[in-house]
Structure 1
Amino acid sequence: MTKYRNFPMVPRVVFGQGCFKQLGEILLPKRKSSEAPFIFLVDDVFEGHELINSIPLLFNDQIIFISADEEPKTNQVDSLVSQLIQSYTELPSGIIGIGGGTLLDLAKATALMLTNPGSASEYQGWDLIKKPAIYHVGIPTISGTGAEVSRTTVLLGPDKKLGINSDFTPFDQVILDPDLTQGVSTEQWFYTGMDCFIHCVESLNGTFLNAFSQSYGEKALELCKEVYLDSLSEEDSRDKLMMASWHGGMSIAYSQVGVAHAMSYGLSYLLGVKHGIGNCLVFQYLEEFYPEGVALFDQMREKHQIKLPKGICANLSDTEFDTMIKVAMSLEPLWENAVGKEWRKTITPQKLKSIYKKI
């Protein structure tokens, strides 16, 4: 008998404009005691913003502002966990991440590492976490990464950029309020939305494709086309991109991403390039793998007048190229999904270097 993966999903989700206001009501039954606070990890762009006044603080709850300018790191998670353990007599009642993919990944990782010993870097990989996380909630303020629904939390470690992939990683609760995505810059809206679009292209063209991932991937792709190629109202665009992100994240639960994500991890690890723009920088040169997807990407980029940076890899040494290539090629499930079990026959260091040199 074939053994199928029994994947966890987010058990509770609320969607709708203004639903963030229900956060206090949602958290109250989850509070363990007055000594067990809720910890809110919030993107520091919201410091002084009216959103902060809407966070339902009680007792010794704490807001920790975190910059999303850099990718989340394993030592950052370790530092947060240590800080929380030293500050309180009880484990927190829960961790709430409010922001984009960086904040959502930090919230997931912190919730996991409060119950699992050692450093976050020891758990970068598949199914290494042994104990359930504490209660954790994801509240995206930008749409596209799929971090709100995925079973991974992507972290930059001392040796690699790799997710903590586990059945205990997904959020216990997600709040999808399209109103929270207002005010995002055009560039950020594009780069993060393209993360979702590229998820879908890689999933739908992968060898791991099945009816489950296809149904979600096709819906997410359709929504991305509407958002980035049609003329929607701002309100419709926010609603639909938020659902595209959700469906895009679900599409890879039972499949995988592919070439752009693998190579983007190399850029992030070496150069600190943020995930969304990294995917775009790589994807523009992947006609060989995703011809239809790249053609659509070019249309979307032209419509929104997005100019991608050039010369990112122009002055790198051979050693630096080798570092990026090593990181990218270590992500074996992504390459197997993209090319098949015999991927090493066609995906060589020379091939990857030729693509990186164009960026």
Structure 2
Amino acid sequence: MLYDFRSFVNPGKYAFGKGSINHLGELIDKQKNEKNNWSVFIIDNYFSGKPLMSKIPSTEDDLIIWIDTSEEPKTTFVNSYRDLILAHDSNLPATIVGIGGGTTMDYAKAVGLMVTNPGDSADFQGLDLIKNEGIYTICVPTVSGTGAEVSMTAVLSGPEKKLGIKCDYTIPNEVVFDPEILASVPTNQRFYTGMDCYIHNAESLNGTWITEMGKAFAEKSNELCKEVFLNKDMDRLVADEKMMVASIMGGNSITYAQVGVCHALSYGLAVVLKVHHGVGNCIVFNQLEKYYPNEYKEFKEMQTLHGVTIPEGITKECTETELDQMVEVSWALEHMWNNAFGPEWEKHITKDMIKDLFRKM
């Protein structure tokens, strides 16, 4: 067993099915009491003025925080959102509701913890550094693949590193899965996020930390990913339901296993070039045929079938200093390299090899 002993947790409650979001108000009201009788909604600003907002049960007492998802979640914003919440009312909110993709849900998870854990969120980047349980958090994913809705990690970019706040308390208390609200996701974004799921499953299944539990989740998740992305004619609602399940299973796979080469390198792109996680993983995986040959072949088949363009040449204008920074960010993620190659991982990958991979991107 490669982890220290721990009892892993999942979200306490799931609601799955068409129209589930119509019951969000009921779930929020269950958490309210006379003292804590208001809520915080953390919402992807893509939905501002969109039909989805008619389904959001906010009241005049509630606080809505709009999230710009063009960049990865940042510790500085987590701190500022926490301060907004504490200034909004002398009593704490009953719930924090995150509505959006991985970025928005990670903000909801992290902010919910920082409301009850004083300090700079950058100081909590790591494993089991959170001391107090956070605000009751409900996540409503509007795109499928990141696994953030079931993950014990809220991934944040801080002043020095990209690393998650990771502990049992980070898990959302409740998740609402409604495939009907995925209908407006653009083709490219749907592909990038779906491939995030496919890729971290590939890293889990090919990793040295894989367990039978992680294997079961990852295999089923990738079976669903391939059903969806190797079949262009599948009914969209059916496909979205399948990808919601794939995302749940994929998120659980990395709880019981670990990611690898692709995620380590994509973190370097995120910190230095501010590349968004889903597209960053695709940019990196496009160069990893050597490490994941079978999955690379399927990845390219899915890309071709859906006509999605993966950006190239994004590091062409990078200075040597920037390339070195990307290498250092990636190199520091020892647990990912350990999973990819084993405890003697430094015999299999060098900083020069990583730099050469970045140059090809």
* TM-score, reference length from structure 2: 0.97
How far apart are the structure 2 equivalents of 1:327 and 1:254? 24
How far apart are the structure 2 equivalents of 1:100 and 1:26? 20
Moved more, 30-39 or 158-167: 30-39
Aligned-pair distance for 1:59?
5.5
Partner of 2:94: 93
Q: 2:355 aligned to 349, 353, 356, which one?
A: 353
Partner of 1:32: 33
Change (3 A) 1:34 1:58: farther
1:279 maps to 2:281? yes
How far apart are the structure 1 equivalents of 2:208 and 2:4? 18
Is there any run of 5+ residues in structure 2 with no aligned partner, and where?
none
Residues 37 and 59, structure 1, Cα contact 8 Å, conserved in 2: no
Aligned-pair distance for 1:27?
1.3
Aligned-pair distance for 1:87?
1.7
Q: 2:327 aligned to 322, 325, 330, which one?
A: 325
Letter of the 2:44 counterpart: D
Q: 2:309 aligned to 288, 291, 307, which one?
A: 307
How far apart are the structure 1 equivalents of 2:254 and 2:184? 28
What does 1:20-59 align with in structure 2 at a 5 Å threshold?
20-33=21-34, 36-58=37-59
* TM-score, reference length from structure 1: 0.98
Aligned-pair distance for 1:92?
1.1
Is there any run of 5+ residues in structure 1 with no aligned partner, and where?
none
Change (3 A) 1:58 1:33: farther
Residues 34 and 59, structure 1, Cα contact 8 Å, conserved in 2: no
Letter of the 1:233 counterpart: D
What does 1:173-184 align with in structure 2 at a 5 Å threshold?
173-184=174-185
What does 1:86-235 align with in structure 2 at a 5 Å threshold?
86-230=87-231, 231-235=233-237
Q: 1:343 aligned to 339, 342, 345, which one?
A: 345
How far apart are the structure 2 equivalents of 1:119 and 1:62? 22
Partner of 1:252: 254
1:15 maps to 2:20? no
Letter of the 1:224 counterpart: C
Letter of the 1:262 counterpart: A
Moved more, 83-92 or 135-144: 83-92
Aligned-pair distance for 1:62?
2.0
Letter of the 2:282 counterpart: C
Secondary structure of the structure 2 residue equivalent to 1:201 = helix
Cα root mean square deviation, aligned: 1.3
Residues 73 and 155, structure 2, Cα contact 8 Å, conserved in 1: yes
Secondary structure of the structure 2 residue equivalent to 1:295 = helix
Residues 63 and 85, structure 2, Cα contact 8 Å, conserved in 1: no
Structure 1 stretches of at least 4 aligned residues deviating more than 2 Å after TM superposition:
1-5, 32-36
Aligned-pair distance for 1:217?
0.3
Cα deviations across residues 212-233 of structure 1 (Å, max 9, x unaligned)? 0011000000000000002311
How far apart are the structure 2 equivalents of 1:161 and 1:28? 35
Aligned-pair distance for 1:35?
5.4
Letter of the 1:342 counterpart: E
Letter of the 2:244 counterpart: M
How far apart are the structure 2 equivalents of 1:57 and 1:40? 8
Change (3 A) 1:316 1:134: same
Residues 35 and 88, structure 1, Cα contact 8 Å, conserved in 2: no
How far apart are the structure 1 equivalents of 2:34 and 2:198? 42
Aligned residue pairs total 359
Residues 258 and 338, structure 1, Cα contact 8 Å, conserved in 2: yes
Identity %: 45
How far apart are the structure 2 equivalents of 1:292 and 1:324? 27
How far apart are the structure 2 equivalents of 1:117 and 1:295? 47
Residues 217 and 248, structure 1, Cα contact 8 Å, conserved in 2: yes
Aligned-pair distance for 1:61?
1.3
Secondary structure of the structure 1 residue equivalent to 2:194 = helix
How far apart are the structure 2 equivalents of 1:24 and 1:159? 39
